[in-house]
Amino acid sequence: MIFSPDAFTASILTVEGIKDASVLLNGPTGCKIYHSFLSDRHFPRGASHDPMAFQGEFYFGQLRVPSTYLDWEDYVEGSLEKLEKLLSTVAEKNNDLLAVINSPGASLIGDDLETALKKSGVSERCFTVDCAGFSLPAPIGFENTGLALLEHLDLKSLSRKENRVNIIGLSILHKHWEGTVAELKKLLSLLGLEVGAVLFADTSVEELKNSSSAACNIVLFPEYGQKIAEWYRERFEIPSVLSPMGVPVGFDATEQLLREVAKCLGIDPSPALNFVRAARKSSYSKLARYHSFSGLPKGTSFSIRAEASFAYPLALWLYSYLGMVPSAVKTLPGGSPKIEASLRAFLIEKGFENAYDREPEYEKVDIAFADGYTLGLLKGLGCCKAGLEICTPSEGYIDFIPKTYMGVEGTLLLLEKIINGIRSSL
């Protein structure tokens, strides 16, 4: 129950997800303050909040996303003068890759950003996003900005490293992205694979430049990564693996993704699958004990509000693995049409067609899966007994232990939260 981020926000966080890259916002402070905060929240880089530490003209007390603080006059007269000043200020500070992103307003005045880059002598390490789009879904902003960035880096064809893979389609906007990267690295290492670059979450420009050496690209959120994977295939003939079930949520989807990766690279998936099997076993005993005296979690109801590629494998797993009842499943804008169709077909097939595309606040359920604000609202309205924050915006909980909802670790976390959520709400 919150306006989900759109392409503009996603575009900014795509670049901010790179360790040594910075966004320069050509826009007003009204757009800047929020995105500076958001970048810092999703990918913290400084220890202090002291606003006096970032008192430069374009920073407004915030470490990330300096801006040209446009006002009406800049809209009328053009923003290039300020932008050139900002570019030289930032260029002096570090050697980051830079991206000038226009705010929705700035993108209307049609200023020639490229000339400003040339004048400031930063064309080599700076690219521009003239217009991230108006009200377009977040994945589009992520993909378009990602592609512009890759084009700018002008990747060279490198010799293939047979045990190297890239992960594509993970934004720092995604909940627990850090834990997800760690979990995927762990699982892939069981297949003898190393992760080269993660596009675009805590990766470096160097890793991106070397990303054309990967033997395979693993697409995590298809709506965020499919086009980028296609770009790699066309340029460098790098094949990609895309789980038809969406992200690896639940044991089945995790196994399927591992199998697909192994198949693509012609390697044996068993070490990783054995690891999953062991986790299945250990959770079995805990589920069995809980189920034997309560009959639960079978029959408990759930609602979801998330990206389609998350909502589908989650709903499928909750239904098939735990016997839970889908009451409302609402996906965020911009989801993969294929996965959206699979989700719909699944709900219809199982006789829960009413749950498809239903807002969670219209149903009272045992457990809801959504972003932090929606959960707050659902709880306040009495629409769920327990809730699990699976996407952002976050309610603000500060995680110390890296977490994920994907892979083995993620499935175990989901089980723990679901069972205890139900238990505490009885």
Partner 1 sequence: MQIAFYGKGGIGKSTVSANLSAALAESGKRILQVGCDPKSDSTRLLLGGRKIPTVLDYLRKTSPDKQSLEGLLFKGFKGAACVETGGPKPGVGCAGRGILSSFEALARLGIRDVPLDIVLYDVLGDVVCGGFAVPLRREYADAVFLVTSGEFMAIYAANNILRGIKNFEDSAPRVAGIILNSRGLEAEDQRILAFSKAVGLPVVASIPRSEIFSRAEKAGKTLIEAFPESENAEIFRELARHVEKIVKDRSLLYHARPLEDWELEELVLGRSPEDNASIFMQREFEKEAGCESGFEEEAGLEGRTIRTINEPEEYLCETCGACKGEAGDASGSGNLSCSDSPRVKPALGKEKVSVLAPSGSGPAILKAPLYGCAFAGAVTATFQVNGALTVLHGPRSCAHIISDALASSFLRSGSFKKTGVKGLEEQALPGLLSVDMEEEDIIFGGLEKLSCRMEEALASGRKLLFVVSTCPSGIIGDDIEKAVLKMKHLYPKARIFPIPVDGNLTGDFSYGFFEGCKKVAELIDPAVGQEEGLVNIIGERNFSPRDEENFRIIEKLLEGLGLRVNCRFLSRADLSSIRDFKKARFNLLAYNSLENRMLRDYLSEHFGLDFFEHPFPVGFRDSSQWVKALAKSLTLGHNPGPFLEAREQIYRAEISKYSPYLKGKKVLVVSYSQDIGWVLDTVRDLGMELVKVGIRASSFGKDKQLDPLPDDIPLVNNYTDLQRAEDIKCLKPDLVLSGYAPLIPEEDVHCDTIPFSPKVGFMSGLELAKRWSTLLRLPVVEGWKYDGGEEE
The contact pattern for ligand SF4, residues 98-117, with x = CB under 6 A and - = no contact, is: -----xxx------------
Tell me how far apart the alpha carbons of residues 308 and 310 are, in angstroms, rounded to a whole number: 5
Residue numbers 213-242 binding ligand SF4 by CB under 6 A: none
CA–CA gap between residue 228 and residue 13 (Å, rounded): 16
Under rule CB under 8 A, which residues in 42-71 are in contact with partner 1? 47-50, 52, 60, 69-71
User: By rule CB under 6 A, what string of x and - marks binding of each residue 19-48 to ligand SF4?
Assistant: ---------x-xx-----------------
Least Å distance, CB 40 to ligand SF4, is 18
Q: Are 9 and 138 in contact (CB under 8 A)?
A: yes
* Binding-residue total with partner 1 (CB under 8 A): 55
Q: Which helix (H) or strand (E) holds 421?
A: helix 407-425
Q: Which residues pair with 356 in a beta bridge?
A: 329
Considering the complex, what minimum distance in angstroms separates the CB of residue 270 from ligand SF4? 52
Pairing mode, strands 301-306 and 97-102: unpaired
Binds 376: which of partner 1, ligand SF4, none (CB < 5-8 Å by kind): partner 1
Give the DSSP letter string of 205-238.
Answer: HHHHHTGGGEEEEEESSHHHHHHHHHHHHHHH--
Binding-site residue total for ligand SF4 (CB under 6 A)? Answer: 6
Rounded to the nearest whole angstrom, what is the least distance from the CB of residue 105 to ligand SF4 in the complex?
5
Which residues between 108 and 137 bind partner 1 (CB under 8 A)? 108-112, 133-136
| C-beta separation of 37 from 167 below 8 A | no
Q: How far is the CB of 41 from partner 1 (least distance, A)?
A: 11
H helix count then E strand count, the chain: 16, 11
x/- letters, 327..366, toward partner 1 (CB under 8 A): --------------------------------x-xx----
> Taking CB under 8 A as the criterion, which residues in 17-36 touch partner 1?
28-31, 33-34
Q: How many residues does the chain have?
A: 426
State in angstroms the smallest separation of the CB of 177 from partner 1: 18
249 binds, among ligand SF4, partner 1, none (CB under 5 to 8 A by kind): none
Minimum distance from residue 100 beta carbon to partner 1 (Å): 16
Instruction: Kindly state the DSSP code that residue 394 receives in the 8-state scheme.
Output: P
Closest of 306, 331, 14, 3 to residue 141, by C-alpha: 14
Residue 178: burial class (beta carbons within 10 Å; 0-12, 13-18, 19+): middle
- C-alpha distances out from residue 30 to 25, 27, 60, 104, Å: 11, 8, 11, 11
Binding residues for partner 1, per CB under 8 A?
Answer: 1-9, 28-31, 33-34, 47-50, 52, 60, 69-80, 103-105, 108-112, 133-136, 359, 361-362, 373, 376-377, 380-381, 393, 396
